Structure 1
Amino acid sequence: MHTDTLQSRLDFLREAEKLKDVLRSGHTSSGRPESTAEHTWRLCLMALVFDDALAGLDPLKLLQMCVVHDLGEAIHGDIPAIHQGAHPNKSEREREDLRHLTRMLDAPLRERILSLWDEYEQAASPEARAVKALDKLETILQHNQGKNPADFDYAFNLAYGRKYTDAHPLFSSLRALVDADTTRRMLGDDASPPRPRGT
C-alpha cells in the first residue's frame, strides 16, 4: 500500500477519534455520560456474542455495520432517540457528516464505508435489520444499567425500536428481558435483574 494511502487512513482515524468525545443521553453504571464510541464498542460485542443465533447472516458485515452506523456523529454529535422526531433531516445530515469525515480516504474505502452506512440506514439487508435491532437493544440495555439522572425517561424504552426488535425470535426474546429491566427501573428498583440459578 502506498505511503500516501497509509497516511490518509491514519488522518481519517485521527479525525474519527472525535467519536470518543461525543456524549449520549444515557450514563454508564458509574454515572458518567456514555460516549458514542462506547455504545459502538458494546454494539460490536453484542453482534459477536449473539452471532451463533443469527444463522445465515454475514458476521463480518454485521461487525462492519456496527462500526460505521454512528460514525458520522463524530462531526455534529448525537441526537438522543427521544428527540429525533424534532430533527427530520437527521439522516441526511449524518450522511453528509460521514462524507466529510471520510473525505481524505482513497475512493474504494470511502465508498465501502458509505455503502455500509447506506445499507444500514435504509435497513436494506438482513444484516442491516439485525444491526438496527441490536442498536436499539444496546441502547435500552445501557439505559437500564446506567446510573441516570432522577428524571430519566425509562418509559420511552418500552416502545423504542420495536419495528426491528419484534422481527426476529432472538431479538424478541432479548426484548422481553430488557423490557422487564425497564419496568423495574420505572418502579424504582435499581437492583440488578435476577439471574437464573445454575442446575
Structure 2
Amino acid sequence: MMTSEKLLKQIDFIKEIDKLKYIQRRTKLFNSDRCENNAEHSWHLALMAIVLAEHADESVDLLKVIKMVLIHDIVEIDAGDTFIYDNEKAHSNTEEERLAAKRIFGMLPEQQAEELISIWEEFEAGATREAQFAKAMDRLEPLLQNSSNNGGTWNEPGVNYDKVYAKKSVIKDGSPVLWEYAESLIDDGVKRGILKKS
C-alpha cells in the first residue's frame, strides 16, 4: 500500500499540534492548583459552545464555532501564550501569531490549510456572529475558573476590576445572556474580596 502525500501531510500536522498539550496557561482548573494546558482549554471551549449555543445573540453555525475554539490557540505552539492581563505584550493578533498560523496550518494540504487559516483569521477579527460567540466562550471559561479558585489570576499584580471588566465585556457581543451572568460573577468577586476595585 502506498501512502498518499496528502495523508502524510495531515499526519505531520496531527503530530505537530500535539505540542499544544505542553503550552501551559496561567488559569487553573476548577477548584485546583494545577494550571490547564491549551489543549484542555480548547476542548473545554468546544463543549461549552455545544452546551451554550442556545444563548448566542443570534443563530450561529455551531460547527464553525467549534472549529474556531479548537484551533484558535494553535499558533501559541510557536508564539507562546500571552497572559490576557499582560502589561507588556498586547493580547491581540500579532505578526508572530500570523507567521505561526502560516507555518503550522501550512503543513496541511493546501485546501485544508486555507480553510483553517481563514477560520483562525475570522476568530481573531471577531466581526462575525460565530467569532463573537467563540470569543465569548474564550473569555467566559477563565472567568468561571477564577471565580472557583478564590480569584486565581485576579490575584496577579496589576489585575483589578476595571481590567477584568474591560477584557470580559466582549462576552456581550456573543451573548447578552452569558454577559449578564459573567457580570454577576465579576461583581460577586468584588463582594467576596477576590477581585480588587482600583
179 and 12 in structure 1: CA distance in 2 versus 1, 3 angstrom threshold: same
Equivalent in the alignment of 1:116: 119
Cα distance in 2 for residues equivalent to 1:19 and 1:84? 24
Work out the number of aligned pairs and report it.
186
CA distance in 2, matches of 1:149, 1:126: 28
Distance 1:46 1:61, change over 3 A: same
1:91 Cα deviation (Å)? Answer: 2.5
* Among candidates 28, 35, 38, match of residue 37 of structure 2: 35
* Identity %, equivalent residues: 28
AA in 2 matched with 1:60: L
TM-score (norm 1): 0.82
5+ residue gaps, structure 2: none
Matches within 5 A, 1:47-196: 47-54=49-56, 55-83=58-86, 86-87=89-90, 90-146=93-149, 148=152, 151-152=155-156, 153=159, 155=161, 156-162=163-169, 164-167=170-173, 168-183=175-190, 186-187=193-194
Q: Root-mean-square deviation (CA), in Å? A: 2.5
Structure 1 stretches of 4+ moved >6 Å: none
Structure 1: give runs of 5+ residues left out of the alignment.
189-199
CA apart distance, 1:71:
1.2
Query: CA offset at residue 76 of structure 1?
Result: 2.7
What displacement does 1:112 show?
0.4
Matching of residue 11 in structure 1 with residue 12 in structure 2: yes
The aligned amino acid for 1:35 is N
Provide the TM-score with structure 2 as the length reference.
Answer: 0.82
1:110-136 deviation digits (Å, cap 9, x = unpaired): 000000011111113111111112211
Distance in 2, matches of 1:8 and 1:129, equals: 31
Q: Residue 186 of structure 1: CA displacement?
A: 3.1
